[in-house]
Structure 1
Amino acid sequence: MKTQKKSLLLFLLGISLLSACSMEVSKVADTAAPAAGIITATLYPTFTPRATATPMPATAIPTVEPVSGTVSAQINIRQSPSTASESVGMLGINSKVWIIGKDAQEKWYQIYFDFPDGERGEGWGAANYIQTAGKPDVPVVSSGGASTGEEDGNGIVTQQINIRTGPGISFDALGILNIGDGVTLIGKNPEGTWLKIEYASGEAWVFAAYIESDVIDDLPIPEDAVVMATEIAATAA
C-alpha cells in the first residue's frame, strides 16, 4: 500500500515537472527574438530632364515673284537704270522678259530674260516699252549709284533716230539714239519739227516725232534755229 502511494506521488510529481517545463518553453516561444535590423536605402524619384524646345528653323525670306512682260519695241538693256549706263545688249520686239524690280521713279524695270542658247541674261529696260497685264508688284531696287531721275533728261526716245548737227536731214549725223534713251531738251526749231538737245559736250538736233516729252510746247526757239531755218528755206528755193 505504501509502495502504491509512493509510486502515485512520484507520478504526480513527474507530471508537475513536465507541465512546468512546457510552460517555460511556451513563454520562450512566445517572446520573439528581435529581428536583425535591415538598413534599406531610400529611393529618390528618378530625375527626368525637361524636354528642350526644338529651335524653329529661321523663316525663309520670300523671293520676289517675277512678273512676266513683253517688249513692245527694240530696246537697250543696261547695267543700271540710266541711259548713261553701259548697254549690255538689245531685245527685239515681242521678246519675253520677267520683271523682278524697279527704280524709285518706276521708269526702269530690272528684268531677266533667256537668250536663244538657253543662257540667262539680266539688266534694266525702259518701263515704257515693257508691257504687262497690270502694274508690276515688285520692290524698288537700289540703282547702286547709277545716274537716274532728272539726269536722264526730260524726254524719251520712242524710235531709233539719228543725232544731227542741225534741224534737218541734210545736216551731218553725229550718232544714234535708241528706244528708251533719255534726252535733255533745250530748244526747238520754229516749226517744232526738230528738237535741240544736250549731246556729249555740246548740242545737237533730233527729229521731234520720235521724242516723247511733256515740255516740248514750252521749249524756246534759239537764235541758231531761226538762222538755220532761213538757210534751209533759201536752199530749198
Structure 2
Amino acid sequence: MKTKYSLWLVIIVVVFVLGFVTTPTADAQGGIIWNTEIFDNPYLLQPAAVTRQDTRIAFDWNVNAPVPQVHADNFTIRWGTDAPFSEGVYRFSVLADDNVRVWVDFQPLIDTFSQPRVGQIVSADLPLTAGTHHIQVDYRENTGNAYIFFDWANLEVFPQGPVLPVPEQMGQLVPLNVGVWTAQYYNNATLTGMPTVVRAETTPSHNWGDRAPFNNLNNDNFSVRWTGLMFLNAGTYRIDVRADDGIRVFVNGQLLIDEWHPASGETYTAEVALPTGAHNFMVEYYELGGDAFVDYRLMQMSTRAPTPAPVTGPRAIVMVERLNVRNTPDIETGVILRTVNQGEVYPVIGRTSDSSWWQINTGDVIGWVFGALVNTRDVMNVPVTSGVSVGQPVTSGVEVVALNDVNIRRGPGIEFDSFAILPEGEMAQVVGRNTTLDWWQIRYNNRIGWVFGSFVSLEGGADLSRIPVTG
C-alpha cells in the first residue's frame, strides 16, 4: 500500500511540474542566436566578407567599419533567425543609420531603404501564432555614422513595446543629422576648377581609407566642398570635426574652424549660438596622401534630443508619401513650389472658400495643398485667402542655358506635364533643384517650372549652396 501511494505521489509531482514547463518564447531577443552575414557592398551581394553569429542586434559603429574586412561606408549586413513565439500581438522596433528592412516569415514588415528614417524609431505591430517564426533584418550603411538597434515585445506583456537604447551621446551634447548636403568633389587639393563629381549626401562624414571616393577621382590630392541649408531651433551648437588632412567649417559665411594643413586625425571644435530658422553650413576638405577621412558632428548643447517646436493652432498633417505644395490652389495651373512628406505637420494660414485647399507655411515657402490629402486640426477660424498672393521661390542668382529646345514641366520628372518650352540658347533663372541634382526649377517669362539637367548648361562656378531643394 505504501508503494502504491508513493507511485501516485511521484505522478502528481511530475504532472504539476510539467504543467509549468512550456516551450520558450521570444518576447525579446534574449537567448536568440542570429546568423550574420556582412558584405563589403551596398547591395547584400554574395559572397559575404564575414559570416558569424550574434546574440543581439544592437551596434553603434560610429564612423568605423563593423569588421576589418569591410570598409566604413557602403556596407550591408543581413541577420536571420528562427525564433519561438507565444501567441499574441508583437511590436517590432528599429533605430538605424542609414537603412533597414525587417522581414517576418519572409514577408516585409518595415522598410526604410527607399525612405530613410535616420535617427527615428520605426515600429510595426504584427499578430503572431504560437510557434517558430523566421525573422530577417537587412541593414545598409551609406556614409557617415552607422548604428542599428532592433528588438520586439509582446504588447500584452509590455504595452509600451520594446525599449531601444540610443547611440552613445557625447556628454550633454545631442548629435544632429539634419538636412541634405550638396557635395562637390574636385580632382585637386585646392577646390579649383569645375568639380568632377556633384551629388547629394546626408553627411560630410566619410572614411575612404587609402581609396579614392570615386573611380574618376585621384586616391590622393583631391578636395571636397559640402554645402547645406539646415533648419534649426534656437540654441548653442557645437561642431566637432576630425580629418586627415585639412578642414574648414563655415556657418552663415563665418569661418569657425580653419585647419587647412596636413593632419592625421586631430579633433577641432567650435561653438556658435543660432536663432531659430535656416542656416547655411559649409565644410571644405582636402586630402594630400595616405588615409583619407572626415568625421563631422553638429551637436546641440542640451541634455535632451532637440525636436522641432510643436505646431499648435490651425495645422495640417500630411497623409500621403509625397505631397506637392503649389503657388495657387489649382492642380492644373498651380506651379509646384516644393514637396512635403508623410507625417509632417505645418501651420495652416488660409483656405479656399469651400475648404478644398489649404494654404500652409513650410518655413521656406507659403503655398497650397489639396485638402483631401491632409488631415487638418483647429481650422474653424482660418480665413479664406484664395485670392491672396502667395510666396514664390527666391531667385538663387544662378542661371542655366538651354542646349536645345527643352520642355518646362510642372514637376521634377517626365511624368509631369510640359506647359512651355525653354528655347535653345535662352537663359533662365534657377530657383530650386531636386536632391539628386538632375532637375532644375527655373523662372522663365514669369512662370516657374522644371527642366531636365542634361538638356541645360549650368553657369560655370555656380555656388550650388545658393539653390534650395524644392522638389
TM-score, scaled relative to structure 1: 0.40
Structure showing greater radius of gyration is 1
Q: Report which structure shows greater RCO (CA 8 Å, sep ≥6).
A: 1
* Between structures 1 and 2, the one with greater helix share: 1
TM-score, scaled relative to structure 2: 0.22
